[in-house]
Amino acid sequence: MALFDLGRRKGFGLRAARLYAFGVFVWYAVALWLARGSEPEVSQGLLHAALVSLSWVVGALGALGTAQISANQSERAGLEALAAQRGFSERDMLRARFLVSSGRVAKLIGVPALCLVGVAVACGLPAMWALVTAPAVALYAVLLGLGLAFLAQFSAELAPRHPRALLAALVLGPVLLSRAYPAIPSLPDALSMLLDRLLRAGAALT
């Protein structure tokens, strides 16, 4: 897992995702500071907007970068040979790659979001709100990380030459279909509904 994590850090997509995540945190931290003293709904709306931005851009960049790195045949051949010498099976490799990918995406989304929760408390929101909202944000980041990592892994295995195109189709295809046929579920819509419900629980305490 440490070896896979080192390889993920070198990918351009994940470096860009880290940079954008930092930018989102700074932008919304300033917005929360400027909004201090206003209604709690304003700060909660800013946190919601930050999570949406982190999900669509940071999550997308992280997943696309993960899919591209996982599909790199030369890297996979070297790692598989090294793992076989250490007694690890191909299933162990897949599990390690999935756990590292999901953890990386979850951190890219969850860490700046949790820091924004702390900024919101410093700007006047009650600590009880943070005690409910912070676990909700962490749960959302973990579930999103698991979902995107699974799709990235699946895309890398099924289409190693075009993993990012397949990943984009798997995510955006159901979204477009759900706009025409609302009965068709999509991952972004499901996560958006989950995010709304989790944040609503914290809003009830303000």
pLDDT tens by residue, 85-104: 777 767 777 787 788 888 88
Is the model's pLDDT at 111 over the cut of 80? yes
- What is the domain count for the chain? 1
pLDDT value at residue 28: 93
Higher pLDDT pick, 190 / 16: 16
pLDDT band at 1 (very low <50, low <70, confident <90, very high): low
Q: Taking all residues of the chain, what is their mean pLDDT, rounded to a whole number?
A: 78
Contact of 148 with 62, CB cutoff 8 Å = yes
At position 151, the amino acid (one-letter code) is: L
Provide the residue range defining the domain that includes 144.
2-203
In this prediction, residue 115 has a pLDDT band, given cuts at 50, 70 and 90, of very high
Taking the whole predicted model, whether its pTM rises above 0.85 is answered as: no
The predicted pLDDT at position 143 comes to 86
Q: Residue 187: its pLDDT value, please?
A: 63
